[in-house]
A and B are shown apart, each in its own frame.
Chain A
Amino acid sequence: MTADMIVCPHCGKENFPQVTHCVHCGEELVDLFKIEGIESTPPMPSKEGSDLPEILKSLRDEERKAAEPTESTPIPEEQAESPIQTEGEEQLPQKEEPQVPEWLARIRTRAAQEADATGDLASRAGTMDQVRSGEKHAEIDKEFTSWIERLRESKQREVLQSARKASEEGETAEGVPEWLQKIRELHPEVEGEETQPIESEPLEEGSPSEGVAAPGAGESEEASREETQPVEEATAPTPEAEAAQPEETVPTEPQQDLSAEQPEEHAEAGAEAQTKAPSAEQEAAEILEPIVAELGMQPEVSVPPEESETAEEQSVAQDLLLLRSQKERAEVLRNLIAEEGKAFPPAHKPKSPHKSWYRLVIGLIMLAALIGTLLFVPSPPIKEGAAPAHVIALQDALQALGAGDRVLVVLDYQPATSRELESMAAPVLQFIAERGVAWQLLVTQPSGLWLAQELASTAGITPIPEAVYLPGGNLGVFALAVDQDQSMPLLPSGLSALNDYRAILLLEDSGSQFQVWMEQAAPWLGKGRFLALVANQDAAMVLPYYDSGQVSGYAAGTQEGALMAQLLGQQPMHLPHERALQVGLIIMMVILILSMVTKAEADATERRREEKA
């Protein structure tokens, strides 16, 4: 740290490199920045429409040349090299080239004085009195402000075109000129509110609307700061300061460096400055008054914070609102950046309350209708009518069975459909038993073991025959069909070869399982062996196999089962309430029709809306 300090030629004490006056004795250190040959430099082009890159180029060239130390000045080597060792610039040979214009040198001096004036250390040393002296400072201020004004005007168009970028910048200190930051430092208690009108001021000149001007304010100041960067680089930054904040393109303020590098000294100076705060503010206001007046702004000094806030809110309320919205957008952007790369939580789809209500209402209506029908409406007698062809075919096949024939009854249904299938199968089993037909129960599902007992119990058959469980699903059916000579030891015992059975009666509630028997067993056994009693849901699946002759006959559902029982001369089993069944079907039809109408209406509405759009 001490390598960066400069030694006062008067008192011999160390000072920070950016100060222009010794903080101990108050003597000027401007000699350190003395540049020869200023008069020979060409004047700065002042035309508004001049090419901006040319201006910058000339400024940078002049700056490099002017920043080179002379041979006569007793400056430490690293101190002399610091202005030209900025990032991205190569080190120039050290020789005298008097090309810096006088006004630019004065601007730099003025900038250095400003930096010194805002610093607490400088105020402690009382060097402000020297800074305030003379009319030439006013001229410097005027030239400085007019130059910044020209740069701002030339950048104004670009600012308006890139308004989107302004939302990313927000209202941060990075986009604020150095002199404006110093104003904020002099008024820390009203910093946020007081500086906002100043930021929005340039935009009122060039923007047609405030809504566009407000986002452009930050951009304009950012642009102006970029343009003034050569000047700042020549006066303020040090290599250590740049290294401390490598991400920022704008050099750090000297005041910030002081606070960061010497907290103790800064705290002491701050405490002392607080005791002298009113006088320091007045002095700063007097210095900044010509700048503010030149920019067309209202001076903001010696006003109580509350009054200042009120006045600002009344005068520039719209600008404040816009800047606050910028803050909000910047906050949103900051949150988005913070969330970048994090895993998204699973999308939470809130449940629609309407669906639950619809389901509840429909379910309750259905239950109420069914219970009411069961309680108050008697079950009708079974209709006697013409039986379908497949039922008559089943009756013929069953009546062809005689004593000594063997029938394999395959139970392949779930407990949920047991009521339906038991009411169909029980009369058939009674008929088979009465005719002296030997029958064997085979189940392909574990639950079929106790369902077989239930079926035999419902049919009133005693003793209840033992059911054989056939494991393996499709493979088991295939193995059972293929093993005609029963040579496979892994098949369940108690079963004969399928060819030994005169008929195979399938009790099915699953179309796929019925298909398994048709595909894996029927091709090996030939036509005319399979009979089927299926649930109503499988009627459509069985019909083609009946048409192709693979199934000799079948009955589907309780109604056909009842017809089948009547044709066989058996008493139909206790059927599910037919009226309740009809009520349930009617309710479902009404719901389907209403759903279709509602959907068609919704589609038509959506179509009309799209056409209007």
Chain B
Amino acid sequence: MNALDVIIGLIGFALTLMVFSYLLGDNFFFRAALYLLVGVSSGYIAAVLITKVILPLLIAPIQTNNGQFSLLTVVPLLLCLLLVLMLFPRTVSAGKLPLAFLVGVMAAMTIAGVSRGTLAPQLLSIVNRFSPSLVQTSGQPAWGQILEAVFILLGVVAVLFTFHHRTHLKGDAEARSGLVEGLSSIGQVFIGITFGMLFVGFYTTALTALIAQLGTLKDFILSLITG
């Protein structure tokens, strides 16, 4: 272990302790570590954007193209300049043009992507689970596959009823039938299970990161002790 590794290791150890100090409440050390992280990240991201985006993708295409001036490459530059004008109060409205362009493109792209990439494939997947080739094996019903397909369908319908029920209650206080209420309750159970699984996944990932960092610190300290 050379001197640079020792210095970097000590800095990492100190920063880790500063972040752990949040257990005692919001304090100077925690905020200092946080500000250091934000500052370093901002500087790094700015450097990356300048070297990887602005210069090669915005400035360079204007000069290249066999020495000919390309109008198409000027369009992004003009839109960027309009965005810069939003820094000044009198020219804020000029920056709304590229923002409107971005929002419109993003909305259209998201709607199309969700429809083609999530809704249609997922619905088709549910329907395909009831295909004869899946629900029977060598002429006999595959009860396991059938139960799984029914369970998935029930979950989808119940969750949809839950959200529909909530939307309905916001606008009208009309009494719901017992079937709808029951489906809504079942949907809430499915939603709860989903959230529970998401929580476990997040917690496990955070715990993995913590254990990995503690393991790194342990190795660093042991290396310092053993030389």
B61-81 CB contacts (< 8 Å) to partner A: 61, 65, 70, 72-73, 76
Tell me, yes or no, whether A469 is within 8 Å of chain B by CB: yes
Q: Which of A129-137, A174-182, A538-546 contacts B (4 or more CB under 8 A)?
A: A538-546
A115-161 CB contacts (< 8 Å) to partner B: none
The complex places the Cα of A446 from the Cα of B48 at a distance, in Å, of 6
Q: Which of B3-11, B82-90, B182-190, B199-207 contacts A (4 or more CB under 8 A)?
A: B199-207
Tell me, yes or no, whether B197 is within 8 Å of chain A by CB: yes
Known: A478-B113, A520-B113, A538-B201. A584 touches B24 (CB 8 A): no
Q: Which residue from B102, B105, B117 sits with its C-beta under 8 Å from A519?
A: B117
Give the nearest-CB partner of B121 in chain A: A548
CB distance from B113 to the nearest CB of A (A): 3
Tell me, yes or no, whether A74 is within 8 Å of chain B by CB: no
CB distance from B126 to the nearest CB of A (A): 9
Known: A359-B23, A489-B73. A475 touches B109 (CB 8 A): yes
Once the chains bind, are B52 and A363 in contact (CB under 8 Å)?
A: no
Contacts of B137 in A (CB 8 A): none
Once the chains bind, are B204 and A557 in contact (CB under 8 Å)?
A: yes
Once the chains bind, are B49 and A370 in contact (CB under 8 Å)?
A: no
Q: Which of B92-100, B159-167, B173-181, B212-220 contacts A (4 or more CB under 8 A)?
A: B212-220
Encode B1-36 as 1/0 by CB contact (under 8 A) with A: 000000000000000000010011100000000000
Once the chains bind, are A537 and B207 in contact (CB under 8 Å)?
A: no
Contacts of A558 in B (CB 8 A): 208
The complex places the Cα of A412 from the Cα of B45 at a distance, in Å, of 15
The complex places the Cα of A374 from the Cα of B124 at a distance, in Å, of 47
CB distance from B142 to the nearest CB of A (A): 16
Once the chains bind, are A540 and B197 in contact (CB under 8 Å)?
A: yes
Known: A540-B197, A548-B125, A550-B121. A581 touches B114 (CB 8 A): no
CB distance from B203 to the nearest CB of A (A): 6
Contacts of A538 in B (CB 8 A): 201
Once the chains bind, are A588 and B109 in contact (CB under 8 Å)?
A: no
Once the chains bind, are B209 and A420 in contact (CB under 8 Å)?
A: yes
Known: A363-B23, A417-B205, A537-B202. A523 touches B214 (CB 8 A): no
Encode A406-418 as 1/0 by CB contact (under 8 A) with B: 0000000000110
Known: A474-B106, A475-B105, A539-B201. A370 touches B48 (CB 8 A): no
Q: Which residue from B48, B49, B124, B208 sits with its C-beta under 8 Å from A419?
A: B208
Contacts of A417 in B (CB 8 A): 205, 208-209
Interface centre among A363, A475, A535 (most CB of B within 10 A): A535
CB distance from B174 to the nearest CB of A (A): 30
Contacts of B20 in A (CB 8 A): 363, 367
CB distance from B71 to the nearest CB of A (A): 12
Give the nearest-CB partner of B116 in chain A: A523
Tell me, yes or no, whether A1 is within 8 Å of chain B by CB: no
Known: A471-B52, A537-B198. A520 touches B207 (CB 8 A): no
Contacts of B121 in A (CB 8 A): 545, 548-550
Once the chains bind, are A535 and B205 in contact (CB under 8 Å)?
A: yes
CB distance from B159 to the nearest CB of A (A): 13
Majority secondary structure of chain B interface residues (helix, strand, loop or mixed):
helix
Tell me, yes or no, whether A596 is within 8 Å of chain B by CB: no
Q: Interface residues of A toward B: which range?
A: 35 or more
Known: A447-B44, A449-B48. A471 touches B57 (CB 8 A): yes
Contacts of B25 in A (CB 8 A): 356
Encode A525-542 as 1/0 by CB contact (under 8 A) with B: 000000000011111100
Tell me, yes or no, whether A221 is within 8 Å of chain B by CB: no
The complex places the Cα of A363 from the Cα of B23 at a distance, in Å, of 7
Once the chains bind, are B204 and A364 in contact (CB under 8 Å)?
A: no
B103-129 CB contacts (< 8 Å) to partner A: 105-106, 109-110, 113-114, 116-118, 121-122, 124-125
The complex places the Cα of A230 from the Cα of B137 at a distance, in Å, of 109
The complex places the Cα of A520 from the Cα of B211 at a distance, in Å, of 35
Once the chains bind, are B211 and A577 in contact (CB under 8 Å)?
A: yes
Give the nearest-CB partner of B210 in chain A: A370
Contacts of A549 in B (CB 8 A): 121, 125
The complex places the Cα of A547 from the Cα of B127 at a distance, in Å, of 12
Tell me, yes or no, whether A371 is within 8 Å of chain B by CB: yes
Tell me, yes or no, whether B133 is within 8 Å of chain A by CB: no
Known: A375-B218, A518-B118. A536 touches B212 (CB 8 A): no
Contacts of B38 in A (CB 8 A): none
CB distance from A540 to the nearest CB of B (A): 5
The complex places the Cα of A518 from the Cα of B210 at a distance, in Å, of 30
Once the chains bind, are B44 and A536 in contact (CB under 8 Å)?
A: no
Once the chains bind, are B24 and A360 in contact (CB under 8 Å)?
A: yes
CB distance from B133 to the nearest CB of A (A): 14
Contacts of B202 in A (CB 8 A): 537
Contacts of B169 in A (CB 8 A): none
Give the nearest-CB partner of A558 in chain B: B208
Once the chains bind, are A536 and B49 in contact (CB under 8 Å)?
A: no
Contacts of B116 in A (CB 8 A): 519, 523
Tell me, yes or no, whether A58 is within 8 Å of chain B by CB: no
The complex places the Cα of A162 from the Cα of B10 at a distance, in Å, of 76
A408-467 CB contacts (< 8 Å) to partner B: 416-417, 419-420, 446-447, 449
Once the chains bind, are A581 and B48 in contact (CB under 8 Å)?
A: no
Once the chains bind, are B61 and A489 in contact (CB under 8 Å)?
A: yes
Interface centre among B56, B116, B204 (most CB of A within 10 A): B204
Inter-chain pairs besides A374-B218, A520-B109, A577-B211, 4 sampled, C-beta below 8 Å:
A356-B24, A420-B209, A475-B106, A489-B72
**A-B pairs with lowest CB-CB distance, top 10:** A519-B117, A519-B113, A537-B201, A419-B212, A548-B125, A446-B48, A363-B23, A523-B116, A548-B121, A537-B205
A residues touching B (Cβ–Cβ < 8 Å)?
A: 356, 359-360, 363-364, 367, 370-371, 374-375, 416-417, 419-420, 446-447, 449, 469, 471, 474-475, 478, 489-490, 492-493, 509, 515-516, 518-520, 522-523, 535-540, 544-545, 547-550, 557-558, 576-577, 580-581, 584-585, 588
Of the A-B pairs whose beta carbons lie under 8 Å apart in the complex, a sample of 24, sorted by A's number, is: A359-B23, A363-B23, A374-B214, A416-B206, A419-B208, A419-B213, A446-B48, A447-B44, A449-B48, A469-B53, A474-B106, A492-B52, A519-B116, A519-B118, A535-B205, A536-B201, A537-B205, A540-B194, A540-B197, A548-B121, A548-B122, A557-B204, A581-B208, A588-B203
